[in-house]
Structure 1
Amino acid sequence: MKKSYLLTGAALLLGASNIFAQASAKQTSSTFLFPEFTSGTVFQKNGATLDATLDYNTVTQEMMFAQEGKNLILNDVSNIDSVVINGVVLVPARNVFFEKLTKTPIALYAQYKGKIVQGDPLGGRIGTSNSTLNGQLNGRKANNDKPGNYDLKLADGYTMDVQTIYWLKKGNEYTQVSTLKAFTKQFPGKEAQIDAFVKENNISIVKIQDMIRLTEFVNK
């Protein structure tokens, strides 16, 4: 099945205003990547697919799904290849989910990390169960008593920032790239080409589309 790698407007809003890849977006009242739980598809490593209503919690960095009026956490992702929501491809990586931004041999990924900037830290969780795919999603319940935990909107007086953290994947290894210099180091022998491309195109590491262009260029 052909997968779409288009970047949605929600992801585009996660650009920011300093020279690092870990750049805060504008403050929001939602802990989630998407405005609401949305129909998506879970692609399993065995080739099977499962449709579900999903969203991604950027604070706890957990994939969640709606089932029988409850929001549950997908807590076993060992047999998941990817999750596609609104054309955004999210893959399990380093115990969280990254968005795959390019289909290049050395691919660019983005991690979206929410941070509550006022109020209590996250509360605990209630109950666990193993997630089962091949036709059904199971998960664990979440404690909604604490602001910013799993509610779609934070309580009054609470706000949060979302950071975009870039990663490059070579083979099975992910390397975080926080600056253009760090990015360039991952492509030895192409330093001059990258430098020229960056200058000619005014590439900014805080702009996701710029980083996609740069990654596609350097992979040619």
Structure 2
Amino acid sequence: MKRSTLLLTLVLVTAFSAYSQKEISHYLFSEFIPGVVLMKGGTENHALLNYNLVTEEMIFDQGGQLLAFADITLDNLDTVFIDNRKFILNNKKKFVEVVEESNYKLYIEHKCRLLAPGKPAGYGGTTHTSAVDSYSSLYDGGMWHQLKLPDDYKVKLFNLYSIDNGSGIKEIKSVRQLKRFYNKYKDLYNDYIKENKFDFDDYETVKGLVHYIENNSK
């Protein structure tokens, strides 16, 4: 499926299609949502938007056709707003969600892993492997931008975080790295973990932990 250029003068797409979470599990949102694409020159473009976790592309619905932002759009893009959430491009040209930009900065890169269909294993079991080897065949068929992957593919969501509290942006890929980042404030870290349910792949709990430490360590 060829990438198509997102015109800088997008019109509001009025057709609104609702899809179930099951059918759209490799997208960040459960449906395409009216959003705003803000360009560096100040132009605001309206479209139905969603984020594809597999291709790591911002996708817009143009009359039922799902298209990725073209390079010319990405080069001139400032911010994307979807459902009161804010997304920008980081220095690796990847979309990240802006969670906090006050006395500290917290960004989330939403990602997923695909598990290919299970293969027969010994004793009647099955094994699941990364779907990397199958990417090309599905992409050639335009499956990645569709709303439903083949039934035998499984999606595992995960997040990468970036924090800047004054000493530059640090990418956090694991609980261990997060704990090491806040080693200076390990008492605050441990206090929060004891009192709150914590899941590294649940950005709300990570957001809560970072907020707690950053606002109680000054």
TM score, norm. by length of structure 1: 0.66
What is aligned with 1:53? Answer: 48
What is aligned with 1:84? Answer: 81
Residue 45 and residue 29 in structure 1: after superposition, are their counterparts in 2 closer, same or farther (change >3 A)? Answer: closer
Residue 155 and residue 203 in structure 1: after superposition, are their counterparts in 2 closer, same or farther (change >3 A)? Answer: closer
Deviates more, 1:49-58 or 1:204-213: 204-213
Asked whether the 8 Å contact 2:34–2:48 carries over to 1, the reply is: yes
Residue 116 and residue 204 in structure 1: after superposition, are their counterparts in 2 closer, same or farther (change >3 A)? Answer: closer
The answer on 1:103 being equivalent to 2:101 is: yes
Which sections of structure 2, spanning at least 5 residues, go unmatched? Answer: 1-20, 118-132
Asked whether the 8 Å contact 1:27–1:162 carries over to 2, the reply is: no
The answer on 1:64 being equivalent to 2:77 is: no
1:158 deviates by 2.5
1:170 deviates by 5.1
CA root-mean-square deviation: 3.1
Asked whether the 8 Å contact 2:112–2:155 carries over to 1, the reply is: yes
1:68 deviates by 3.9
What is aligned with 1:129? Answer: none
Q: Which has the higher helix share?
A: 2
For 1:151, which of 146, 149, 164 is the aligned residue? 146
SS in 2 for 1:101: strand
Q: Which structure is larger by alpha-carbon Rg, 1 or 2?
A: 2
Which sections of structure 1, spanning at least 5 residues, go unmatched? Answer: 1-25, 126-142
1:199 deviates by 3.0
1:91 deviates by 1.6
Residue 167 and residue 124 in structure 1: after superposition, are their counterparts in 2 closer, same or farther (change >3 A)? Answer: farther
What is aligned with 2:39? Answer: 44
Deviates more, 1:98-107 or 1:149-158: 98-107
For 2:207, which of 198, 205, 212 is the aligned residue? 212
Asked whether the 8 Å contact 1:34–1:55 carries over to 2, the reply is: yes
How many correspondences in the alignment? 177
1:144 deviates by 6.2
TM score, norm. by length of structure 2: 0.66
| CA distance in structure 1 between the partners assigned to 2:197 and 2:86 by the alignment | 27
Pick 1 or 2: higher relative contact order, CA cutoff 8 A, min separation 6: 1
| CA distance in structure 1 between the partners assigned to 2:142 and 2:39 by the alignment | 33
SS in 2 for 1:72: strand
The answer on 1:114 being equivalent to 2:109 is: no
> Which amino acid is the alignment partner of residue 194 of structure 1?
Y
Q: For residues 17-32 of structure 1, what are the structure 2 equivalents within 5 Å?
A: 30-32=25-27
1:110 deviates by 1.9
State the identity %: 24
Asked whether the 8 Å contact 2:24–2:31 carries over to 1, the reply is: no
